[in-house]
Amino acid sequence: MNSRFYITTPIYYVNAEPHLGHAYSTVVADVQNRFHRLIGQETFFLTGTDEHGDKIVQAAERMGLSPKEYTDEISKKFRDTWPLLDVRPDRFIRTTDPEHIKTVQMVLQKVYDKGDIEFREYEGLYCFGCERFLIERELEDGMCPDHKTKPTRLKEKNYFFLMSKYQDWLIDHIRSNPGFIQPERYRNEVLSFLKEPLEDLCISRPVSRLTWGVPLPFDKDFVTYVWFDALINYLTGLDYPDGERFQKFWPVANHVIAKDILKPHGIYWPIMLHAIGLKPYESLHVHGYWKIKEEKMSKSLGNIVRPGWLVENFGSDATRYCLMREMSFGLDASFSYDGFVTRINADLANDLGNLFSRSTTMLHKFRKGTVPNETGMEGPQDELRKAFSALVPTWKELMNGFQVHNALSEIWKVLNMANKVIDTTAPWKLAKDESKQVFLDDVLYCLMETLRLSAVLISPVMPRASEKIINSMGLDPDVEFSENGLKWGRLNQGLFIKKVPPLFPRIGPSRKEAKENIKKKREDIKKEKDVSMDSKDKKDGLITIEDFQKVDLRVAQIVSAQKHPNADRLLQLTVKAPEERTIVAGIAEHFSPDSLVGKKVIIVSNLKPVKLRGVTSQGMLLVAKDEAGLHLLEVDPETEPGAKVS
């Protein structure tokens, strides 16, 4: 095995903000980075943003910003998103970084001097979404299959990279390196594409049409086309050509992408590398699409899920777990809120969370919280010891092959086995039987050691929960999350295990269930009302105008919103009406804090302040409630905060 590992994500276009699809590739890379570090390799992890090209200029124009201002803003959003998901890249690269521009120009000059770049006229069908010319057979019903738009016919003189002359070399390289493109279906896809003659690659745009790009060093009237610019980030990221990092990490380069950019990575990139005399990357790892209701999640289709929203709802660990567990690497997967909730409640709250709390509770009850002697007895618990000797090598192999979903499923088999060990050995019964104490010691030891070792195995995916487990054992995560930590039997007798709050509290009913509950409640209330209205004076429900005038309704603008520190169902809002005040509202299950900021709503402003779980609420937010749930009562955005509602 190599002693080093270099992992990259695509650099994302800044024409839209990050979504779950970007988060997936980035978390995959982070998990790989953590895994390879854990098994003792020196690693380097690169991500970043792709900032040149027509699409970016158009997006900036729509926002009324210069390309520079615009790219600064959106690039920062990507950079700020990754820590929310505990993603820790070693370098965040931007294609507008001066050192990158220098590297691109150096590479272009090298390829040009070699005679692999030529100036010619070209006419073809250009997709602005893909930022490249498409060929007829790539179209579906005359449209770009990815962007569902009709390409534009363009004719212009441009520079071309003479890719076709390296076609046979590439076929040979892919055939003789089975792991070069993974999973195999994508390797086959590239090989089947290479059965047709390759066209040369247009690598420039005239500055008359586009100035937002890297100028060609050999012709100032042209800038380079995005792919020649973008792919080179993987070299700039290692300080190519002279950096020490380049020497260390280029031979072990692993790229993660989705299938949308298979062709540039599976064909253009290895040929570019070969042309400049470099060995191609070690492996390309290609995953499928996250979809929503059968459509690819994408900024152009507008059906996106924000990573920040996922973290707010589920937390970072559970989001990472669901991303890794719900998608088989290489295949498409569907996102649904309910699917994530079900997964979290079943795997994290029940299987892992319960195992941890049941085991520590019993350890406290029967052994004052200290780890007993491992007595190595036969019994159901012995299966756990045996299971790990098979699980650890399987886990390594699956993680190495980017089969994280399968690695997790193998770990969960053992966690379930441990839960069954508790049921079948019934430690609470053993505790009452003097003759069973040595056996009980072994059962408790095996449960705790199962938890420690599982924590090590899940640490690349769920760094927080695994650290909590290791810390509760008074151990050092830096020591445990290493090759040493992978050995059974590291928990020493006498070690005190702290009790900690539940690792993964159950998430309340899913939206669908919540809607059904609300509907049922409404029906119950209606039934009760109908009965009381019949028996009492129906006029009882009416109020006078004077009654209504007692209520002071005002327009308020929500300035900030955050989760209530002590209650899951509550949000803490700061509103302007026109003076600032705090309102605590029971709407956390229906609205994400971010979605509320800036909204103008109606509040009851003369309610007596009340303290709700430690925070004083000065008023009440009005919402409408129907079978679908809660809806905000928004007012015309022109209305001044503080305006009286009558």
Does residue 19 have an active-site annotation? Answer: yes
Measured from the CB atom, is 43 or 298 closer to ligand ME8?
298
Torsion sign across C-alpha atoms 594, 595, 598, 604: negative
Give dist(CA 256, CA 279) in Å, integer.
18
- Nearest approach, Cβ of residue 236 and ligand ME8 (Å): 11
- Nearest approach, Cβ of residue 53 and ligand ME8 (Å): 9
Q: Which helix (H) or strand (E) holds 23?
A: helix 20-38
Residues 565 and 615 sit within 8 Å (Cβ to Cβ): yes
- Nearest approach, Cβ of residue 168 and ligand ME8 (Å): 25
- Nearest approach, Cβ of residue 233 and ligand ME8 (Å): 6
Does residue 22 have an active-site annotation? Answer: yes
Does residue 299 have an active-site annotation? Answer: yes
- Nearest approach, Cβ of residue 295 and ligand ME8 (Å): 9
Measured from the CB atom, is 147 or 519 closer to ligand ME8?
147
Measured from the CB atom, is 108 or 584 closer to ligand ME8?
108
Task: Put residue 141 in one of left, alpha, beta given phi > 0 → left and psi -120 to 50 → alpha.
Answer: left
Segments of 274-370 assigned E as strands: 283-287, 290-292, 295-296, 333-334
Query: Among 147, 248, 263, 291, which one carries the catalytic annotation?
Result: 147
Which amino acid, one-letter code, is at 237?
G
Residues 596 and 558 sit within 8 Å (Cβ to Cβ): yes
Among 611, 605, 608, which residue's Cα sits nearest to residue 572?
A: 611
Nearest residue by C-beta to ligand ME8? 21
- Nearest approach, Cβ of residue 111 and ligand ME8 (Å): 17
Query: Among 55, 100, 265, 296, which one carries the catalytic annotation?
Result: 296
What residues contact residue 362 under an 8 Å CB cut-off, 6+ apart? 422, 427, 428, 444, 447
- Nearest approach, Cβ of residue 5 and ligand ME8 (Å): 19
Query: Among 127, 202, 322, 446, which one carries the catalytic annotation?
Result: 127
Give dist(CA 182, CA 179) in Å, integer.
6
Measured from the CB atom, is 140 or 636 closer to ligand ME8?
140
Measured from the CB atom, is 235 or 518 closer to ligand ME8?
235
Give dist(CA 329, CA 478) in Å, integer.
28
Using DSSP's 3-state secondary structure scheme, residue 87 falls into coil
Helix 20-38, helix 67-84: angle, nearest 10: 50
Q: HSE (CB half, 13 Å, CA atoms) of 181?
A: 25
Measured from the CB atom, is 281 or 356 closer to ligand ME8?
281
Query: Among 36, 52, 130, 600, which one carries the catalytic annotation?
Result: 130
- Nearest approach, Cβ of residue 539 and ligand ME8 (Å): 58
Give dist(CA 402, CA 390) in Å, integer.
19
The contact set with ligand ME8 (CB under 6 A) reads 10-13, 21-22, 24-25, 50, 230-231, 233, 257-258, 260-261, 289-290, 296-298
Using DSSP's 3-state secondary structure scheme, residue 239 falls into coil
Helix 316-326, helix 307-314: angle, nearest 10: 110
Burial tier of 147 (Cβ tally within 10 Å: 0-12, 13-18, 19+): middle
Does residue 631 have an active-site annotation? Answer: no
Measured from the CB atom, is 159 or 228 closer to ligand ME8?
228
Q: Got the DSSP string for 374-431?
A: ----SSTTHHHHHHHHHHHHHHHHHHHTT-HHHHHHHHHHHHHHHHHHHHHH-HHHHT
- Nearest approach, Cβ of residue 301 and ligand ME8 (Å): 9
Query: Among 19, 52, 55, 100, which one carries the catalytic annotation?
Result: 19
Measured from the CB atom, is 258 or 503 closer to ligand ME8?
258
Reading the block at residue 486, the tokens are 């992978």
Does residue 100 have an active-site annotation? Answer: no
Query: Among 55, 255, 299, 590, which one carries the catalytic annotation?
Result: 299
Residues 384 and 448 sit within 8 Å (Cβ to Cβ): no
CA distance to 47, 214, 218, per residue, from 106 (Å) = 22, 11, 11
Measured from the CB atom, is 296 or 452 closer to ligand ME8?
296
Active site residues: 19, 22, 127, 130, 144, 147, 296, 299
